[in-house]
Chain A
């Protein structure tokens, strides 16, 4: 069975903190993605990676960075968290026919 896991379901951080969201897939997929989901806005692509150490900006990369040191792990980094980054963050990996999603991390920045 395909599995994408995210390090936390819920996270509360303070403004200015550095935040790491981690995603792991066990399917040997090359392509991985980070989205944020906000009510009324759907899913918006932040960054994606098509190979280890490779990354490309998505539609809303400002305020975020990513790291992919190993094929199975894709991390999203908020260098200095702000309240407008309070959101649901979804990780996904591409399995030739579809994207497989993790359970999501609901991040609140206070």
Chain B
């Protein structure tokens, strides 16, 4: 069974600084997708970024980028120029192939210091 591990329960970053959130996963599949979701306090979960495993290029979305290391089964999220609105819980998730089911990590709470 696939597993997703987020080993850090909490992190803190100074506003305008850069922070990296870690995620590792375990799978025997060759075709899969990885996601980072953001859940702001009392608000809806939204997709931050998506990575296809067959793509070597790391996905980026504005201030958010990933470091995808397929051989190491590592998928970290980098947030540049952190803003107060980035404070949230972040979940790493895995999807096997075309299966729409996601396996989530336990999440990490990110706080941003003004």
A: residues with CB less than 8 A from B are: 31, 33, 35, 40-45, 48, 50, 58, 90, 92, 94, 97-99, 101-104
B47 touches A98 (CB 8 A): yes
- Counting chain A CB atoms within 10 Å of each CB, which of B35, B50, B100, B106 scores highest? B100
Q: Is A43's CB under 8 angstroms from B9's CB?
A: no
Q: Please state if A42 and B100 are interface contacts (CB–CB under 8 Å).
A: no
Bound Cα distance A35, B6 (Å): 18
Chain B: how many interface residues by the 8 Å CB criterion? Answer: 18
Using a Cβ cutoff of 8 Å, how many contacts connect chains A and B? 40
Query: B54 to nearest A CB, angstroms?
Result: 15
Would B106 and A94 count as touching, CB distance under 8 A?
no
A–B complex contacts, Cβ < 8 Å, 21 sampled: A35-B104, A40-B9, A42-B6, A42-B91, A42-B104, A42-B106, A43-B91, A43-B104, A43-B107, A44-B104, A45-B101, A48-B100, A50-B100, A94-B100, A97-B50, A98-B35, A98-B47, A98-B50, A99-B102, A101-B45, A103-B44
- Tell me if A42 and B44 are in contact (CB < 8 A): no
Contact residues of A: prevailing secondary structure: strand
**Residues on B close to A: CB < 8 A?**
6, 9, 35, 37, 43-47, 50, 91, 100-102, 104-107
Task: Report how far A60 CA is from B15 CA in the complex, Å.
Answer: 39
